[in-house]
């Protein structure tokens, strides 16, 4: 990525999510931010969203297994995903 002009931050984000995507847009919205991700090598779903700059550092909102593993249920017992 660096050879093609990507910033250090862009390369770090791609390494962080480890799924072949890159950040195509970024929006700070409060405690966390939203990162739009493009997956150029996927056959069907080429776009995704991540919650970033929180704990954990990046959460794929489409990964239900990962979301259920985060302590949301403990913090918000009446909430649903």
Q: Is residue 18 part of a domain?
A: yes
Residue 80 lies in a domain: no
Range of the domain at 30: 2-75
- The pLDDT assigned to 11 comes to 82
pLDDT of residue 49: 93
Is 56 inside a domain boundary? yes
Structural domain count of the chain: 1
Predicted confidence at residue 36, as pLDDT, reads 94
Distance CA 17, CA 36 (A): 12
Helix (H) or strand (E) holding 60: strand 58-60
Q: Which of 30, 33, 32, 37 lies closest to 13, judged by CA?
A: 37
For residue 34, being part of any structural domain is answered with yes
Per-residue pLDDT of the chain (81 residues; tens, 9 = 90+): 777 777 888 888 888 888 888 898 999 999 899 999 999 888 888 999 999 998 888 988 888 776 666 666 677 777 766
Does 81 fall in a domain?
no
């Amino acid at each position: 990525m660096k050879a093609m002009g990507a910033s250090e931050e862009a390369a770090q984000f791609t390494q962080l999510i480890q799924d072949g995507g890159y950040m195509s847009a970024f929006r700070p919205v409060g405690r966390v931010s939203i990162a739009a991700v493009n997956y150029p090598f996927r056959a069907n779903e080429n776009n995704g969203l991540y919650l970033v700059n929180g704990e954990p550092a990046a959460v794929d909102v489409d990964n239900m297994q990962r979301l259920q593993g985060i302590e949301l249920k403990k913090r918000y017992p009446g909430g649903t995903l």
